[in-house]
Structure 1
Amino acid sequence: MARIGELDLPDRLHPAIPRWATQLGVALLCVGAAGVLRLAINLVAPGAAVFALLFPAIMIATLFARWQAGLLTAAISIAYAFFAVYLPSPATTQSGPYWTLFAIAFSAGLTIALAETFRRAVHRATDERDLQIADRDLMLSEFEHRVKNNFQIVASMLDIQRRRVSDPAASDALGAAMMRVDSIARAHRHLYRDGQGSEVNVSDYLKDLCDTLSDALLLRGGVTLDCDADAAHIQRDHAVSIGLVLNELVTNAAKHAFVGRETGTIHVSWKHKAEGGWRLTVADDGVGLPPGPRPKRKDGGLGQRLIEAFVKQAGGTLTTVSDSGGTRVMMDVPD
């Protein structure tokens, strides 16, 4: 019912059609519809319930085109029903018709008042809702702007520190931290840009992230990074986790997959599985993982621990396949 009250035809059609013309048209349409139903009823029960159809017609006209249309509908309908149907009936008495007319007119006025009150209440509630939505959008816009600035400040501080340190291991660690912050920042931007509430368009997010990683890892010429992602909207927290996993896997591939080589390809895909769920795949055509236990890395395996933590946070599972033709890491997550 609230949606009916929100539809104000005189305002909706103005200025193409004057408001009074819209109200007149709605009144005539309601009178005509009631008249057609009246004729159909007369075929079955002549003279029965003469005034019964007046009230729904009056209410509809008032809700859609304000009280003026309801009043016009009432006047035309009552006049027609009274003079064309009621008075000619032999069952009426000399004094009864006028009291009936008064009762019907009073009931019609009460119907118009109630319908108009309801219509105005709904419009006030709608205006308040729109104002609240506008205030919320303004607040979210300001919040998004502040968070974006905070991300930029953190990234800038990490970049300044990275440039100042002389230890290559420390510089690499700060650079990796910068890319992780950037991955979270991009998920945040896509969350507000897509307008999906708490969901992120993963396709756009992953493609954007791959472009950034390609620039940040200086993948030029011989080593390329491409991304093929199906469209999907998932929860923000899961999108952040998936983006961070992608960040770590692509970084690992760029650093370790092409040792002693100048060419190679890193392929990222995000596809829906036939049996349900989604699969993130990061595959390279590099040298593959060495057989046996993996040697301890300089960062103490921080990257691998982060990958495992992010996969767990997304509710997914991780599978790694490696041979002389390269390495393929697959992350499966539920719908």
Structure 2
Amino acid sequence: MQRFRQLDLTTRFAPRIPRIVTQCAVGLVSAVLAILLYSALDRITVGKGAPFALCFPMMLLATLLARWPAGAISALLGIGYAWTVTVPGMLGVRDDATAWVTLIFILLAVVLTIATAELFCRAVERATREREQQIADRDLLLQEIDHRMKNNFAIVASILDIQRRRADGEAADALGTALARVESIARAHRHLYRGVGQSDAVQMRAYLGDLCAALADALLLRGGITLACSSDEVDVPRDRAVSIGLVVNELVTNAAKHAFGGRAGGRITVGFRQRPGGWTLLVSDDGVGMPAAAAPAGLDHGLGSRLIPAFARQAGGTLTTESGREGTTVTMDLPA
């Protein structure tokens, strides 16, 4: 409906060109085309063609392009030309009763054709307005939901932060990790609903860049330990982007806490790349590597180790881990 409405030249050219000017121009051009086409065909048929035949499709086209005034102008000029120039030569006497009866039926057909086309245009216009109103109402509702969701995320994050500040030891670490997870989801939400009419996808370069910057601040990565993030400009569906962000959150948090073994310097790298048939997430560090023995038991570490595969499954990805003396690299391959 929207594409058909764009055919209305009076709307497209307004207000630069007045509607009546557009309608007169369209009516005149369509009538001239009908006359020229008939003249060309008349030479082939040697005066045996129907003089009014081409007037009807042209007046229909004029009505669809510029509404009924254009169709009326096209009909008046085209049929007037045929009646005054062509019909007398074909019938011999223009005042013949049969000719006038024929003209009356032609005029009735003209009125019905233009009226039908005009009613169709109005129906399209009405349907388009209703659709635009529905879209406007939906966008307003989404904005309200977006606003409420942002408030809810802010409240939850504030409560967790207050509890984290009051706690110490493992409880503070666990609350800090929970806070980072909530903020990861909140950032995905902000990047998804960043304006009216956005698609159901998250732009990963901006999302991961924002997430890594927040993780660097939250984990107090200062001095020799740095966090670098790079990503291709790709859009990922919302639910999968949230899961990918949670995987990044867990992997970076684990690397910051366990990869460097008390070393003052180190580097954590996050990369998201598009490949044929999907995407690849890489999170690597240049730390001491994972020990061959079981990792030390701890609330955050143990929970994170269980959450990472769960988040990867939600994203539809497959995890592989490579670890050695030069560090650890976790790769998650995701089909498109």
Flag whether TM exceeds 0.5 (same fold): yes
1:181-260 maps to which residues of 2 (within 5 A)?
181-193=182-194, 195-260=197-262
* Mapping 1:61-140, distance limit 5 Å: 61-90=62-91, 94-140=96-142
| Structure 2 equivalent of residue 24 of structure 1 | 24
Corresponding residue for 1:151?
153
Q: Percent identity?
A: 55
When the two chains are superposed, the root-mean-square deviation of aligned CA atoms in Å is 1.7
Output the CA distance in 1 between the equivalents of 2:260 and 2:68.
77
| Secondary structure of the structure 2 residue equivalent to 1:282 | strand
**Residue identity opposite 1:193 in structure 2:** R
Displacement after TM superposition at 1:125 (Å): 0.8
Distance verdict in 2 for CA 1:255–1:59, change over 3 Å: same
- TM-score normalised over the length of structure 2: 0.94
Structure 1 distance, partners of 2:2, 2:74, is 22
Rate the CA distance shift 1:204–1:92 in 2: closer, same or farther, 3 A: farther
| Partner Cα separation in structure 1 for residue 9 and residue 245 of structure 2 | 48
Partner SS state of residue 278, structure 1: strand
Give secondary structure in 1 for the equivalent of 2:281. Answer: strand
CA spacing shift, 1:131–1:2, aligned 2, 3 Å: closer
Task: Extract unaligned runs of 5+ from structure 2.
Answer: none
Residue identity in the other structure for 1:4: F
CA distance in 1, matches of 2:29, 2:193: 45
Measure how far apart 1:90 and its partner are.
Answer: 4.7
Unaligned runs of 5+ in 1: none
Question: Structure 1 residues 149-158 or 230-239, which shifts more?
Answer: 230-239
CA drift at 1:298: 3.6
- Displacement of 1:198: 2.0
- Counterparts of 2:74 and 2:251 in 1: how far apart (Å)? 71
Matches within 5 A, 1:25-40: 25-40=25-40
Q: Which moved more, 1:211-220 or 1:2-11?
A: 2-11
1:162 alignment partner in structure 2: 164
Deviation at 1:91, TM superposition (A): 6.9
Cα-to-partner distance string for 1:245-282 (whole Å, 9 max, x where unaligned): 000001111111122221111111111224x2211000
Aligned in 2, Cα 1:291/1:74: closer, same or farther, shift over 3 Å? Answer: same
Question: What is the DSSP-based 3-state SS (H/G/I as helix, E as strand, rest coil) of the residue aligned with 1:301?
Answer: helix
AA aligned to 2:194 is R
Are 1:325 and 2:326 matched, yes or no? yes
1:289 aligned partner = 290
Query: 1:279–1:330: 8 Å Cα contact kept in structure 2?
Result: yes
Instruction: State the SS of the aligned residue for 1:173.
Output: helix
Q: CA deviation at 1:92?
A: 6.9
Going from structure 1 to structure 2, the CA distance change for 1:64 and 1:32 (only over 3 Å counts) comes to same
Match of 1:59 in 2: 60
Which of 80-89 and 153-162 deviates more?
80-89
CA distance in 1 between partners of 2:278 and 2:253 (Å): 25
